[in-house]
Amino acid sequence: MSNFPVVCGFEGDYGFKVLMVDRSSTMDDVCAVAADLLAGVVVRPVAPTERLRVRLPDATEPLPPTLTVAEAGFIELETIEIYREPRVLAAVRNDA
């Protein structure tokens, strides 16, 4: 069972949630956990034209989708934001 807690602010949500992930989880894995637990529950479902990204609070750029929690240097209860990005834009970034 995943046992590494991160504090997740999902774009549009009213409050932070605690997600349990693994140190080896990639940012895409973290997004998948957030989508599974929160999209369609507290925020609208993720549309096929959108993909989720992880960024640190106040950062303008997302963290790379393949970056792991350990590689990002997260501590337990690290705060992250998860937001939607149009897949078109992700394609421009070459990480859609």
Partner 1 sequence: MALLNSEDWYDIARDTNWTPRYVSEQALFPKELSDVLEMPLELLETFDEPYKVTYRDYVKTQREKDVGAYSVKAALARSQMYENASPGWKALLQMHFGAVSFLEYHSVSAFARMTRFGRAPGMRNMATFGSLDEMRHAQVHLYFAYEYLAKSRTFDWAQKAPRTDNWVIISERHTFDDLEHTRDAISAAIMTNFAFETAFTNLQFIALSADAANCGDFSFSTMLQSIQSDEARHAQIGEPLLKMMIDSGRKAEAQKLIDISFWRCWKQFSALSGTCMDYYTPLDKREGSFKEFMNEWILDQFVAKLEDMGMEKPWYWDLLLEDIEVFHHAQQLGIYLYRPTEWWHPIAGTNPAERAWLEEKYPGWNDTFGQVWDVIIENIRAGRLDSTIPKTLPMLCNMHGLELTGVPGRKWNLKDHTLDYQGRRYHFQSVVDKWIFEQEPERYAGHLSLIDRVAQGIVAPDGVMEHMNMAPEEYGIEGTNYAWVEAYDDALTTRRATGT
Contact 51, 84 (CB under 8 A): yes
Would you say 51 or 74 has its CB closer to partner 1? 74
Residue 29 CA, distance from chain mean position: 8
Quote the least distance from Cβ 19 to partner 1, whole Å.
Answer: 6
Q: Which long-range contacts (CB under 8 A, 24 or more apart) does 92-95 make?
A: 95/64, 95/65
Residue 96, interface with partner 1 (CB under 8 A)?
A: no
Quote the least distance from Cβ 7 to partner 1, whole Å.
Answer: 5
Give the pair of three-digit tokens for residue 30. Answer: 């973290």
Q: How many chain residues touch partner 1 (CB under 8 A)?
A: 29
Of 22-30, 64-72, 74-82, 86-94, the window that binds partner 1 (rule: CB under 8 A) is 74-82
